[in-house]
Amino acid sequence: MPSNVDGWLADTRSSYDTVAVDYADQIREVLAGEPYLLSALALFAGMVHTAGGGPVVDVGCGPGHVTAHLRELGVDAFGIDLSPVMIDVARRDHPGLRFEVGSMTDLDLADASVTALLAFWSLIHVPDDAIPAVLGHFRRVVRPGGPLLLGFHIGDESRLKTRGYGGHPMKVHVHRRRPDQVTAWLRDAGFTVEAQWLLDLDGSRPGAVLFARRQS
């Protein structure tokens, strides 16, 4: 793996190891105040059920709050995150659920082994030149016709985040992207984009949710 990839991955891992406990405390109840995200997750869960169920991976799951919500919706969801401390927190907060340490740049999952995949604001630290390889892994592990749900910040700029949750030091770049760019990447990776939701367009942190399917 190129050294520049090792660099941003190492920075992301150590940053989230540092803030994991405070991050979990701050976002534990965040979904309750996000009706549109709850609707997106409910729709995604319905798509999984229509596809016949089966395992669903939450890539970049953080402290596991979205993974746990999907389980409440009847989805056989499990989480993967780069940060070992974040995975420890997820296991602490959601005992009995499956959480594993892993990287979206090299997903340790068998080909076509999951029914669906979720990446909710977990691509935001991945540089542009690494996105095609990451989406290639997403396509590899999802069964043909399986749904994919991506959430991300909208914008054109990237910024270096040096301090985060709880005031702890961090060193991660936060990349905001245009939906048309993410759509193009998905199509190039072998996904069909079916729907796009735009969120909080007049707010300080506009976002987008894309629903897609792996092509056969």
**Residue 208 in contact with residue 152, Cβ under 8 Å?**
yes
The whole-number pLDDT of residue 131 equals: 98
Q: Please, what CATH class does the domain formed by 3-214 belong to?
A: alpha beta
The whole-number pLDDT of residue 2 equals: 38
The whole-number pLDDT of residue 5 equals: 54
Please state the domain extents for the chain.
Answer: 3-214
Residues of the chain with pLDDT under 50: 1-4
Residue-wise pLDDT tens digits, 90-141: 999 999 999 999 999 999 999 999 999 999 999 999 999 999 999 999 999 9
Half-sphere exposure of residue 159, counting CA atoms within 13 Å on the CB side?
A: 8
Distance in angstroms (rounded) separating the CA atoms of residues 174 and 127: 9
Tell the residue number behind the tokens 């792996």, with chain if given. Answer: 214
The whole-number pLDDT of residue 195 equals: 98
